[in-house]
């Protein structure tokens, strides 16, 4: 592994996240956006309001985007930073429009999306959203998973870049109401268009309202290498 990726790997270990720019060219970003623009937006997986445009099960709904997302650079980085056993478990496209006034409070990503609801020891509580079953799995699964957030626009604090509490992924379940700002450090994760942020799901993160009239379009992809217990399966498993 070259020194560049070694530093990013260490940031993931210590901080819970890292930012890598220059993964997609402007032309590649445009190709991804063109696929999204040409999609049938009446599909139930598509959600569109004045404040948000989202596509759940993004890679499953738009399979033609998969080879554009998983280019050689992305696959090489995943293999170098993690290993070849990981697969996709969830994918969402978010478009936070220029005039969006919503924000996301501090939280960890504690749920995974599975194919059915059944009582399994160590799994719970359960949620149902858009006919998808979400459940909090055992802690070792969450600790081993990772998320890649591919940015299709330049993103900073003014248009809703994620804020993260450095190192918070090392504290297991960390309730937002217990954050001690005397000891914690907040970092704004600026990402250029064509770059991405890699994060652990236990990282405490949030985002502000948009204030600069600039879009923030992101492809959010979650990865795991875990076999689930009790007959549970991943709802959106995809190898690449």
Confidence of residue 211 (pLDDT cuts 50, 70, 90): confident
Least Cα distance to 83 among 17, 19, 144 occurs for 144
pLDDT of res. 46? 76
pLDDT tens for 146-177 read 999 999 999 998 888 999 999 999 999 999 99
What is the pTM for the complete model shown?
Answer: 0.94
CATH number for 3-224 (one of 3.90.170.10, 3.40.50.980, 1.10.3470.10, 2.60.120.620): it is 2.60.120.620
pLDDT of res. 41? 77
- Residue reference for tokens 């060219």: 25
- Rounded to a whole number, what is the distance in angstroms from the first to the last CA of the chain? 21
Give me the long-range contacts of 134-141 (CB less than 8 A, separation at least 24): 135/111, 135/232, 136/110, 136/111, 136/112, 137/112, 137/226, 137/228, 138/229, 139/172, 139/173, 141/112, 141/224, 141/226, 141/228
pLDDT tens for 22-79 read 999 999 999 999 999 998 777 777 777 665 688 999 999 999 999 999 999 999 999 9
Residues 6+ away with beta carbon under 8 Å from 47: 53, 54, 55, 56, 130
């Amino acid at each position: 592994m070259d020194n560049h990726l070694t530093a990013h790997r260490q940031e993931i270990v210590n901080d819970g996240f890292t930012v890598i720019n220059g993964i997609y060219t402007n032309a590649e970003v445009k190709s991804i956006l063109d696929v999204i623009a040409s999609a049938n937006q009446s599909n139930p997986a598509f959600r569109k309001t004045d404040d948000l445009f989202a596509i759940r099960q993004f890679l499953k709904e738009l399979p033609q985007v998969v080879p554009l997302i998983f280019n050689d650079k992305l696959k090489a980085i995943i293999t170098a930073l993690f290993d070849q056993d990981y697969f996709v478990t969830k994918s969402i496209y978010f478009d936070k429009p220029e005039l969006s006034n919503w924000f996301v409070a501090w939280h960890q990503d504690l749920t995974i999306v599975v194919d059915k609801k059944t009582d399994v020891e160590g799994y719970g509580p359960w949620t149902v959203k858009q006919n998808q079953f979400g459940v909090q799995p055992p802690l070792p699964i969450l600790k081993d998973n990772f998320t890649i957030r591919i940015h299709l626009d330049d993103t900073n604090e003014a248009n809703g870049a994620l804020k993260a509490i450095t190192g918070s992924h090392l504290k297991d379940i960390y309730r937002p109401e217990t954050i001690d700002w005397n000891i914690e450090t907040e970092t704004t994760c600026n990402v250029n268009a064509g770059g991405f942020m890699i994060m652990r799901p236990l990282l405490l993160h949030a985002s502000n309202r948009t204030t600069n009239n600039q879009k923030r379009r992101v492809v959010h992809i979650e990865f795991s290498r875990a076999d689930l217990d009790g007959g549970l399966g991943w709802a959106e498993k995809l190898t690449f």
